[in-house]
Amino acid sequence: MGPKDACFLALICLLGITDAQDKPTPLVIWHGMGNMNINYQLKTVTYLESPQGPRPPPSRFSNFLLLLQHGALKKLVEERIPGIYVRSLMIGENIIEDEEHGYFGNVNNQVDEVCQKIAADPELQGGYHAMGFSQGGQFLRAVAERCPQPAMRNLITFGGQHQGVFGLPNCPPDNLLCEEMRRLLNLGAYIDWIQNSLVQAQYWHDPLHEDEYRNASIFLADINNEEVINESYRENLKKLENFVMVKFEEDSMVVPPESEWFGFYSPGQDSEVLPLQQTQLYIEDRLGLKEMDTAGKLHFLSVAADHLNFDDQWFLEEIVDKFVV
């Protein structure tokens, strides 16, 4: 091989390296309860139900479900960041299984499945950002804690229940899966077969029976280091460059809404809510959140609206431009 050939090969390699460096960081999305994978175009939209009844269709993408179910959320990101790879996670083999798994199944198995999919995706091997909507938020946090490779860089959760819930969510009209979920939670979240098969039971946090929660919860108590401090969880979570938590101030789905910022009821009662900084989780730094807070890695954002209601301008300017670009 002559000098010209060597120079040509070196130039090709240099261009390849430059292209890889200029390529945007990929984005992984995990949707919430009952929402389907955003890659699918649907003809119907289900709106969240408020105490006053179903909300009317919002104007210009002001409802997350409209964004999600029409694939517009993915499109918004792709238009804002040309060339970005966006992967919307699907649990199971098809959209029907994906929706069912939002209510029924073992969350630990779902997290394992996602870890395997991420590890096998060649587009994600250089690292990725992650967005979790509603329960998808704490599920992606579990991915960050348990599966550090490839590296999750920024984790953004929208209405995630990081300290769990102690209240039954509203169900959209005629959603039989959601109604069955409510029935089983009423029956008993910590009954063994319910705990192992109902997704929402696995982040049910009863402040009146903290010992039962710590002993029976197969998912939330584990990823929150409630019983035993798993040092690998702490170290892996601290590797995040940014952990962004979006709370919806008028949330009618998450009880208490402060759970979206890691706040929760003071143990032994269900009226006084402690902010993250006053919880034992933070004081004892069981997850490394105190250290991350000191380092400026925690970001607490709020939206004056109900669960997962935000407009596209806010999403692009406050989330995409600051934590995804």
Q: What angle do CA 12, 17, 18 make, to 5 degrees?
A: 95
Are the CB atoms for 28 and 118 separated by under 8 Å?
yes
Catalytic residue, candidates 134, 222, 259, 306: 134
Q: Is beta strand 152-158 parallel, antiparallel or unpaired with respect to 242-248?
A: parallel
Buried b vs exposed e over 244-268: b needs ≥16 C-beta within 10 Å?
Answer: bbbbbeebbbbbbbbbbbbbbbeee
Say whether 234 sits in a helix, a strand or coil.
helix
Catalytic residue, candidates 98, 222, 251, 306: 251
- Phi and psi (nearest 5°) for 263? -85, 160
The H or E element spanning position 58 is: none
Q: What angle do CA 203, 204, 206 make, to 5 degrees?
A: 140
Annotation says 251 is catalytic: yes
| Long-range CB pairs of 262-267, under 8 A, 24+ apart, other chains included | 262/162, 262/163, 262/289, 263/163, 264/163, 264/164, 264/205, 264/207, 265/166, 265/207, 266/207, 267/207, 267/210
Residues 67, 72, 75, 76, Cα dihedral to 10°? -50
**Catalytic site positions:** 134, 251, 307
